[in-house]
């Protein structure tokens, strides 16, 4: 499956032509991470489509697709773990570091991982 097919055939992704439209910046970032990892050869589009499809078909997925990018993130975490790129503990540790960085960052300033008070 090509990236264009992935964009145009994905449930819940509004598009303007071939350009996806994102409701939140984090959705665009998640999308970009998947594209970057694919471009580095870490997985094929078929592998990605299978991982994403598994998440979108889970019983608790919302019928209106409003949780589409939450499924996208779950699929990303799954494929990263399956391919032994990073384990769940590594992902959880990094997520916690970003949360600490967000809490330590003054309002209006960019959130940087370096702002995590527990990182040295």
Q: Cβ(71)–Cβ(56) under 8 Å?
A: yes
At residue 16, the pLDDT reads: 58
Q: What is the pLDDT of residues 23-40, one digit of tens each?
A: 888 899 899 999 999 999
Average pLDDT of the chain, as a whole number: 84
Gap between the Cα atoms of 21 and 39, Å rounded = 21
Which one, of 66, 75, 2, lies nearest residue 34 by Cα?
A: 75
Please tell me the predicted confidence (pLDDT) of residue 11: 43
* Residue pair 43/37 in contact by the 8 Å Cβ criterion: yes
Q: Give the tens place of pLDDT for each residue, 51-83.
A: 999 999 999 988 888 899 999 999 999 999 999
State yes or no: pLDDT of 90 exceeds 80: yes
Query: What's the DSSP call for residue 81?
Result: H
Task: Judge contact between 34 and 72, C-beta under 8 A.
Answer: yes
- pLDDT band at 13; cut points 50, 70, 90: low
Cα distances (Å, whole numbers) of residue 21 to 3, 14, 17, 48, 65: 14, 6, 10, 20, 14
Asked if the model's pLDDT at residue 87 lies above 90, the reply is no
What pLDDT does 105 receive?
94
Cα separation, 3 vs 42, whole angstroms: 15
- The pLDDT confidence band at residue 91, using thresholds 50, 70 and 90, is confident
Would you tell me how many other CB atoms lie within 10 Å of the CB of residue 80? 20
């Amino acid at each position: 499956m090509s990236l264009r097919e992935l964009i145009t055939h994905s449930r819940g992704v509004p598009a303007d032509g071939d350009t996806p439209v994102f409701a939140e910046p984090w959705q665009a970032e998640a999308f970009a991470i998947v594209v970057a990892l694919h471009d580095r050869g870490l997985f094929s589009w078929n592998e990605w489509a299978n991982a994403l499809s598994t998440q979108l078909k889970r019983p608790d997925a919302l019928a209106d697709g409003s949780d589409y990018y939450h499924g996208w993130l779950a699929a990303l975490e799954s494929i990263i773990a399956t391919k032994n790129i990073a384990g769940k503990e590594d992902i959880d540790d990094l997520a916690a570091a970003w949360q600490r960085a967000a809490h330590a960052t003054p309002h209006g300033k960019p959130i940087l991982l370096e702002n995590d008070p527990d990182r040295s």
